[in-house]
Amino acid sequence: MRPAWIDVVELLYHTTRCASMDVEETAKAIKDMRIRGAGRIARACASALYEFADTYKGDDRETLMHDIEDAKETLIASRPTAVSLYNGVMASLKGIDKETDVDAILSTIKGRAEEFVDNSYEAVNSIAELGSSIIRDGDVIMTHCNSSAVISTLKRAHEQGKNIKVFATETRPWRQGLITSRELADAGIDVTLIVDSAACLMMDNVNKVFVGADTVTAQGTLVNKVGTSQLALVAHEKGIPFYACAETYKFSPLTLNGDDVRIEVRDIREIAKEGEVPDTVKIYNPVFDRTLGRYITYYITELGMISPSSARETIVELFNED
């Protein structure tokens, strides 16, 4: 079965569309925020590489390897902060350098890409099972942005008969919280959408926080949608457990040597359209922020609960080359 992606902008407006896309189309869709969410963009890139391999017509190995490198760089550049994308690309290309035949290389890419997509969905299911086990009947949970792992966890808890309430932050400027709210409401969950700046006020009504993850560093730091760190600080101050649902392909081997994660900054017009503020007003629009490990209770992964202090060990075990 050929992997597919979901256009999240269309999802916001009550329609879904699945399609196969080539590398350039996928990279543009990610840059344009038509595909968002760390898991979705990783699967989209793996799917694009599947499509690349499935439609490739050349028969020269050297040319193919050059084209693969171009495809890899194009996809990785589309969202540099999200290590999920990087790991999805690298997983899809693993082992191709050992192949000498063009057909074998293309077959390897297709097999690896499909395996990554399948494992990604299985990881979300495992996280939902584990995450829902720590949710109790009557819990009031706050979440931020739009995480498929978090939504699956909350839905699983609801399916288990637990009466839960959810506060979902709006998540400016792209308002991914509207997607989260609609998905939870459609599942029958009691959800309240709040503006981002109300998170501190409403935290007094909450007893758990669940967020997703774009990147987990070797130092145990969570890189996630901007505003996450504020929720973590408030939850820490009020003694509320703070959990990050993170598939292990979001753990970053690139941070083992202490390298920092570059925070993506997007177009200022996402914040204010031309003419809304004087030209002398500076605008800064970061997509992500960093939450230190000491503010995170646990990472909920498909391998189990991982403490931030164990992130380095986890990355070494996961990405140690044979």
What is d(CA 88, CA 79) in angstroms, rounded to the nearest whole number? Answer: 12
Is 97 among the catalytic positions?
Answer: no
For 181-211, give one letter per residue: b (16+ CB within 10 A) or e.
Answer: bbbbeeeebebebbebeebeebbeebbbbbb
The residues with which 14 forms a beta bridge, in sequence order, are none
Omega before residue 173 within 30° of 0, cis: yes
Q: Is the dihedral of CA 136, 142, 144, 145 positive or negative?
A: positive
Is 18 among the catalytic positions?
Answer: no
What is d(CA 174, CA 145) in angstroms, rounded to the nearest whole number? Answer: 9
Comparing C-alpha atoms, which of 77, 100, 60 is closest to residue 23? 77
Of 7, 139, 145, 245, the active-site residue reads 145
Q: Encoding tokens for residue 17? A: 């569309």
User: What phi and psi, each to the nearest 5 degrees, are found at residue 167?
Assistant: -105, 120
Question: Strands 5-6 and 304-306: what pairing?
Answer: unpaired
C-alpha distances (whole Å) from 163 to each of 148, 243, 287 are 20, 19, 33
Q: Give the CA angle between residues 271, 151, 34 to the nearest 5°.
A: 40
Of 214, 245, 279, 322, the active-site residue reads 214
C-alpha distances (whole Å) from 69 to each of 2, 21, 54, 76, 207 are 22, 18, 16, 11, 47
The answer to whether 218 and 312 have CB atoms below 8 angstroms apart is: yes
Q: Encoding tokens for residue 74? A: 């194009």
- Catalytic residue IDs: 145, 214
